[in-house]
Amino acid sequence: MEQTGAVILAAGLSSRMGAYKPLLQIDGVSMIRHVYDTMFSAGAEPIVVVTGYRHEDIEAHLYGLPVTFVHNPEYAHTQQLDSLRLGLSTLKGRCQRVLISPADVPLVSQETVDALLRETGDFIRPVYQGKPGHPVVLNMALLPELERYSGGGGLRGAIECSGAVIRDVAVPDGGIALDADTPQDFEALLRWHRQQT
């Protein structure tokens, strides 16, 4: 059985939201805690949280949980892929594959994550009605390629450039494609959540 770690990306400025995204609450639970709980329930270990802006707040909020915090001091001037590299380097030698999600994709079902982890391959991503989303599963063998990559397009650009095989897994879970970059996004996310419960 392959050891599966996890990286939760929470280094961004939340500038388009106007509020600090990871700590926004859904049913009294923060978005980042929703993501953490789903990964923990799927058996991911170790779980790394990459922080940047307001890192003290994240560390205090998740205090006592079995997570490793990695701080990106250049969060205001770097891309999400740079934060991901920091998180992955922390997991080097500790797991064979990694679940990856931003902190603002909180409503993915446990069934979706379990379905992704039943698959094998270089890069596995969920797809809902033709739209890819999060979390994704990355084979750690790709880490050297990601570390060398200097082009654009973030993680997707790096994966496509590496020649890795992307495996799409169709799921009946709209939560994979619901993030919260703006207040309108967050309202849509809350509406969708109410419809599911």
pLDDT in tens, 71-82: 999 988 888 899
pLDDT band at 154 (very low <50, low <70, confident <90, very high): confident
Residue 15: pLDDT over 90: no
Q: What is the pLDDT of residue 1?
A: 60
Residue 30: pLDDT over 90: yes
pLDDT band at 150 (very low <50, low <70, confident <90, very high): confident
Q: What is the 3-state secondary structure (H, E, C) of the chain?
A: CCCEEEEEEECCCCCCCCCCHHHCEECCEEHHHHHHHHHHHCCCCCEEEEEECEHHHHHHHCCCCCEEEEECCCCCCCCHHHHHHHHHHHHCCCCCEEEEEECCCCCCCHHHHHHHHCCCCCEEEEEECCEECCCEEEEHHHHHHHHHCCCCCHHHHHHHHHCCCEEEEECCCHHHHCCCCCHHHHHHHHHHHHHHC
Residues 118-136: tens digit of each pLDDT: 999 999 999 999 999 999 9
Residue 106: pLDDT over 80: yes
Mean pLDDT of 135-149: 93
Residue 2: pLDDT over 80: no
